[in-house]
A and B are shown apart, each in its own frame.
Chain A
Amino acid sequence: MAGAAQVLSDDSRVSKLDRALLQLETFFALLSGLAVFALMVLAVISVAGRNFFNAPLPGYVDWIEQAMPLIAFLGIAYVQRNGGHIRMDILVGALKGRALYLVEWITTFAILILMALLVWGTWAHFLRSFDFAAPMWSRDSSMDIALPLWPAKLLAPVAFGVLCLRLVLQLWAYGVAFLRNDPQPVAVPLVVDAATQAAMEAEHVSSRED
């Protein structure tokens, strides 16, 4: 589940960096949340305009398509920080200590390889539509009202870049935990079993019911 995670912190340098990066990640995630809200407002204006004022919102679909990368990419590092990306934890849930940190290090490193390559791949995708010489620096544009596409395309390498920073930090933290055989590793999401996870989920939702 996305809601449940636990990241410990202390006075070490890696933990300080973790919290510093978290601020940027939280800001990005909040932008992504605001984009969802904007999407909603846009649709309400569009429906109201069409039905009550006989004035459909021009380029409605174009705006949605431009907002989607904002929603889809920006929070990616925030979710990784909190251990929110889905995984199967039947094996890692059974591991402890060094064995656990080793496996976590390997899978995190695998993610870093992928994301580093994708920063390159998505950057190339962005470059194909970006041109300083062209009007609005744009070589391609959306169907209806001709919005330039490059800003939305740029979001992918930017967000993936932040994720790469996060992954390097997690590799560092897992490395430290492995060397020290630390029972309470900092700056990485802890593996929780189904019961704890459920309890945290319950805690989270009930706090807002009252």
Chain B
Amino acid sequence: MEPIDIGLAVTGGLLVLVVLGMRVAFAAGLAGLVGLIWIFWSKKNYGGGDFLWALTVATKTAGQVPHSKVSSQALSLIPTFILIGYLAYYAGLTKALFEAAKRWIAWVPGGLAVATVFATAGFAAVSGASVATSAVFARIAIPEMLKIGYDKRFAAGVVAAGGTLASLIPPSAILVIYAIIVEQDVGKLLLAGFIPGAFSALIYGLLIVTLALSLKNFGPPVSGFTWRERFAALPPALPIVFVVVTIIFFVYNPFGGDAWGTPTEGGAIGAFVVFLMALWRGMRWSEFKDALLETAKLSVMIFTIIWGVLIYVRFLGFADLPGAFADWITSLTMSPMLILVCILLAYAVLGMFMDAIGMLLLTLPVVYPAVMALNGGEFVSAEESTFGMSGPMCAIWFGILVVKMAEFCLITPPIGLNCFVVAGVRDDLSVQDVFKGVTPFFIADAITIALLVAFPWIVLWLPSQV
């Protein structure tokens, strides 16, 4: 068999293992290792005595991957961001944020829902956990919205949708993972996430205001807070702003001059502030230990997929499957933009069945080179490219789009986890209720994604300043 045939066979086998329910990290690692053995053995024409040789070489090749790939400074951002997230629960930020948002913006039509969206978005950004954020705000915000007469399904939809804003606004672990897998600048990707994330929140807000103005029986605005009350609500919520701003400033200094340091340092300073805040709020050792264990758990899970997939990637290099796939994609007669849209839709479907991180890591090694080829190659200039942007810019744009797609899947049936978790917190709501309530946001997201595809500069303006 030719290497490419081995590549296809092994990738088919990998899919079978994944569907069977094998843990993605190990399925990818095993596929990679078996593939390496197969390829090396085929080079010796499958001689009986050569199998052991192929096994040894392949195992030693694969054995280098875990240590050499995880020992990188860029990857250290991931556990730091996760730590921020888990400490954030103990820093009393959720209620503080909701209170501040309520006092400042609840006077607009549909105000309490708008305030909820911004508070949820802010906490989601810092905690990085969409599902958990929705769970927390379901307890804080839904009762308040119900009290002043909001429809309970809509209130649930607001919280479920707000949680999805987690993964674009910095700190975003998933964008770091993307950057590492496609070997692009981590800082630029983090920066690129900010505007689309804020933009998504803004679209949600506008949607709510529009609904409030056009529908009767919508929850009334909440006003009457004095300026003194407003300012009093700010300090406890400040760490959230501090974390986001610090990370941005450690990548890019908007006032000119050098960035303040590396993204890793920015993340660590953010974590430190949240840690102090949690201490100040009386975090106990048992709680701190819990946060550390949870951080370790999520970090290990992510790192295991990373090295597992990288063993598979090592094999793909020998089999040249990504090259063949890219050739096939570029040979299609459809318009490149249509192909890109099809790829994004495929992610929407896949995301219904798999966790975002697993989905991205598993597919990007093959899909990403194809998208780059579609744009004219990794080193293409903006003028000669298909989508009108240079190779690195296309990488950033595509990254933001797929991450947004993955988040989108958290509120789509059949297994939009955010909707399940909100229904799980509230006994009076069924999952169908929440899916119904989230529908307007679903449409808003579709519009946001269409805008990001049609106007890439929304994504690319900020990173191109660096």
Is B63 within 8 A of A121, CB to CB?
Answer: yes
Is A37 within 8 A of B66, CB to CB?
Answer: no
65-79 of chain A: CB within 8 A of chain B: 65-69, 71-76, 78-79
Is A44 within 8 A of B269, CB to CB?
Answer: yes
Is B23 within 8 A of A26, CB to CB?
Answer: no
B295 interfacial by beta-carbon distance below 8 Å: yes
B240 interfacial by beta-carbon distance below 8 Å: no
Is B293 within 8 A of A43, CB to CB?
Answer: no
Is B131 within 8 A of A36, CB to CB?
Answer: no
Is B66 within 8 A of A118, CB to CB?
Answer: yes
Is A40 within 8 A of B301, CB to CB?
Answer: no
Contact for B20 among A68, A103, A113, CB less than 8 A = A103
A12 interfacial by beta-carbon distance below 8 Å: no
A69-B70, A121-B63 known; A43+B131 contact, CB < 8 A? no
Interface code A184-206, partner B: CB below 8 Å = 1, 0 otherwise?
Answer: 00000000001101110110111
A46 interfacial by beta-carbon distance below 8 Å: yes
Contacts of A117 in B (CB 8 A): 33, 55, 59, 62
Contact for B29 among A30, A80, A118, CB less than 8 A = A118
Which A residue's beta carbon lies closest to that of B28? A114
Q: How far is the CA of A79 from the CA of B68 in the complex (A)?
A: 22
B44 interfacial by beta-carbon distance below 8 Å: no
Is B80 within 8 A of A39, CB to CB?
Answer: yes
Interface code A94-132, partner B: CB below 8 Å = 1, 0 otherwise?
Answer: 000000000110110011011101101111110000000
Q: How far is the CA of A143 from the CA of B439 in the complex (A)?
A: 54
B46 interfacial by beta-carbon distance below 8 Å: no
Is A2 within 8 A of B33, CB to CB?
Answer: no
Q: How far is the CA of A10 from the CA of B292 in the complex (A)?
A: 28
A39-B76, A79-B300 known; A202+B33 contact, CB < 8 A? no
Contact for B292 among A36, A44, A155, CB less than 8 A = A36
Is A37 within 8 A of B297, CB to CB?
Answer: no
Q: How far is the CA of A66 from the CA of B25 in the complex (A)?
A: 23
A29-B293, A36-B295, A118-B63 known; A88+B19 contact, CB < 8 A? yes
Classify the interface of chain A: helix, strand, loop or mixed: helix
Shortest beta-carbon distance, A107 to chain B, in Å? 4
B248 interfacial by beta-carbon distance below 8 Å: no
Shortest beta-carbon distance, A207 to chain B, in Å? 10
Shortest beta-carbon distance, B373 to chain A, in Å? 28
A156 interfacial by beta-carbon distance below 8 Å: yes
B17 interfacial by beta-carbon distance below 8 Å: yes
A residues contacting the other copy or chain, number (CB 8 A): 79
50-97 of chain B: CB within 8 A of chain A: 55, 59-64, 66-68, 70-73, 75-76, 79-80, 82-83, 89-90, 94-95
Is A121 within 8 A of B62, CB to CB?
Answer: yes
A29-B293, A86-B25, A206-B425 known; A107+B269 contact, CB < 8 A? no
11-41 of chain A: CB within 8 A of chain B: 26, 29-30, 32-34, 36-37, 39-41
Is A73 within 8 A of B300, CB to CB?
Answer: yes
A89 interfacial by beta-carbon distance below 8 Å: yes
B277 interfacial by beta-carbon distance below 8 Å: no
Contacts of A201 in B (CB 8 A): 131-132, 135, 421, 424
A75-B296, A117-B59 known; A91+B20 contact, CB < 8 A? yes
Is A76 within 8 A of B304, CB to CB?
Answer: yes
Name which of B166-174, B175-183, B322-330, B354-362 contacts chain A: B354-362
Which A residue's beta carbon lies closest to that of B283? A208
B225 interfacial by beta-carbon distance below 8 Å: no
Interface code A41-58, partner B: CB below 8 Å = 1, 0 otherwise?
Answer: 111101100100000000
A71-B299, A209-B136 known; A40+B80 contact, CB < 8 A? yes
Contacts of B139 in A (CB 8 A): 206, 209
Which A residue's beta carbon lies closest to that of B63? A121
B138 interfacial by beta-carbon distance below 8 Å: yes
Q: Which residue of B17, B79, B300 has the most chain A CB atoms within 10 A of its CB atom? A: B300
Which A residue's beta carbon lies closest to that of B270? A40
Contact for B417 among A1, A2, A39, A104, CB less than 8 A = A1
Contacts of A156 in B (CB 8 A): 63, 66-67
Contacts of A104 in B (CB 8 A): 21
Name which of B101-109, B260-268, B341-349 contacts chain A: B260-268
Is B297 within 8 A of A152, CB to CB?
Answer: no
Is A195 within 8 A of B423, CB to CB?
Answer: yes
Is A82 within 8 A of B300, CB to CB?
Answer: no
Contacts of A134 in B (CB 8 A): none
Shortest beta-carbon distance, A149 to chain B, in Å? 8
Interface code B299-314, partner A: CB below 8 Å = 1, 0 otherwise?
Answer: 1110111110000000
Is B293 within 8 A of A33, CB to CB?
Answer: yes
Is B29 within 8 A of A114, CB to CB?
Answer: yes
Is A74 within 8 A of B300, CB to CB?
Answer: yes
Shortest beta-carbon distance, A131 to chain B, in Å? 17
B457 interfacial by beta-carbon distance below 8 Å: no
A65-B72, A73-B66, A198-B131 known; A82+B21 contact, CB < 8 A? no
Contacts of B138 in A (CB 8 A): 202
Contacts of B289 in A (CB 8 A): 30, 33
Q: Sorted from nearest, which 6 A-B pairs have the closest CB atoms? A: A121-B63, A33-B292, A43-B268, A198-B420, A72-B303, A199-B424
Q: List 20 A-B contacts (CB under 8 A).
A: A33-B293, A34-B292, A36-B299, A40-B275, A72-B70, A76-B300, A79-B300, A86-B305, A87-B24, A88-B353, A90-B353, A107-B20, A107-B23, A118-B29, A194-B417, A194-B420, A197-B420, A201-B424, A202-B138, A209-B95
